[in-house]
Amino acid sequence: MKIVVCVKQVPEVTNVQVDPKTGTLIREGVKSILNPFCEYALDHAVRIKDRFQDVSITVVSMGPPQARDVLVRSFELGADEGILITDRKFAGADTWTTSLTLAEAIRTVVPDYDLVLVGKQAIDGDTAQVGPEIAEILGLPQITYAVDVTLTSTRRQVRVTQEVEKGYEVIEATLPALVTCSKGEVVRRAPSFKDVINARQKPIRLVSASDLQIPEEQLGLQGSYTQVVKVFPPPAKKSSLLLQNLEAADAAREIFGFLREKRFVE
């Protein structure tokens, strides 16, 4: 049984700062990491593999050559093989072209997949569109916002606990299917020394534009339906009153006064 997990390399955006003079991102010293939601998807794949010995996990990433690092990280966490889709022709891809490229690579390299797991969104783009778009292109049923992913006893269906606005719903779909994940293990898995050493030996297959059956005009910027016309810093934030060095009781009184002034307390 084959599980495909799509993974993305992202900047650790919590630490990304904007240069106040130029309004652009300061990228020096910002680490690249495995997108946390992708790691959650991998968590679920590894858990299924723990339960069923014949499961193999293929991680797929599309990005520049250095995206190799997230495949190696995925190996440390339990993936078996990797596919790196990389080519200058993919640059400027929007969600649609990205999805088309990932879907086509999965169809070409892992045609016998049973389950595709992805993160619900990447923390840099935050669109949450690539998962559903891959599902549509591959013609798969989809279940979004998963917190738990298991197989039914016959292993013909996937059973997913899905976050909904009021709580959770448990949803089933017949395999092959695609699931987007919003939570994984609360306690992160720490790879052992052996995992780290073994990760370096696992195979990574490189896929370039010429390996895929996609016309060149549908790749990268050429194939994208959306186009960025302007990038600018977010609007300046309002100025505020900051109170320091107050005793807790005085602080409470200040806030109370403010609430009365704004009529939140009558």
Partner 1 sequence: MLNIDHEKCTCCKVCIRNCPFGALSLVGGSLHVNELCTLCGACVNVCRFDALSIERKKASPEELARYKGVFVWAEQDEETSPRKPRKVVLELLGKGRELADKLGEDLVAVVLAGPGEVDTEVYGEHGADKVIICQHELLETFSTDGFTNVMCAVITSKKPAVVLYGATPHGRDFAPRVAARLYLGLTADCTGLEINAERQLVQTRPAFGGNIMASIITPYNRPQTSTVRPNVFPVPEEKKDSSLVKEVFPVTLNRAAIRTKVVEKRYLDEEGDLSIEDARVIVAGGRGCQKAANLELLQDLAEKLGGVMAGSRAIVEQGWIPHTRQVGQSGTTVGPELYIAAGISGAIQHVVGMSSSKTVIAINKDPEAAIFKTADLGVVGDAVEIIPLLSALIEEKN
Give the interface segment with partner 1, choosing from 76-84, 173-181, 190-198, 201-209 (CB under 8 A): 173-181
Binding residues for partner 1 restricted to 223-252, rule: CB under 8 A:
224-234, 237-238, 240-246, 248-249, 251-252
Binding residues for partner 1 restricted to 10-49, rule: CB under 8 A:
11, 13-14, 16-18, 22, 24-25, 27-28, 37
C-beta of 110: minimal distance to partner 1 in Å? 20
Is residue 170 a contact partner of residue 161, using CB atoms and an 8 Å limit? Answer: yes
Query: By CB under 8 A, is residue 121 in contact with partner 1?
Result: yes
Name residues whose C-beta falls within 8 Å of residue 7's C-beta, 6 or more positions apart in sequence. 34, 35, 38, 39, 41, 42, 59, 60, 61, 70, 71, 74, 119
User: Which one-letter DSSP state was computed for residue 98?
Assistant: H
Query: By CB under 8 A, is residue 192 in contact with partner 1?
Result: no
Q: How many CB atoms lie within 10 A of CB 45?
A: 29
Cα–Cα dist 258/232, whole Å = 34
**Out of 50, 156, 174, 196, the residue judged to bind partner 1 by CB under 8 A:** 174
Give the interface segment with partner 1, choosing from 48-56, 74-82, 161-169, 192-200 (CB under 8 A): 161-169
Handedness of CA 102, 104, 109, 110 (dihedral sign): positive
Binding mask 79-118 for partner 1 (x = CB under 8 A): ---------x--xx-xxx--x-------------------
**Out of 197, 203, 208, 253, the residue judged to bind partner 1 by CB under 8 A:** 253
Alpha-carbon radius of gyration of the chain? 22
Query: By CB under 8 A, is residue 159 in contact with partner 1?
Result: yes
Give the interface segment with partner 1, choosing from 73-81, 191-199, 206-214, 254-262 (CB under 8 A): 254-262
Contacts for 228-237 with beta carbons within 8 Å, 24 or more apart?
A: 232/23, 233/18, 233/23, 233/24
Q: Which is nearer to partner 1, 192 or 260 (CB)?
A: 260
User: Which one-letter DSSP state was computed for residue 72?
Assistant: H
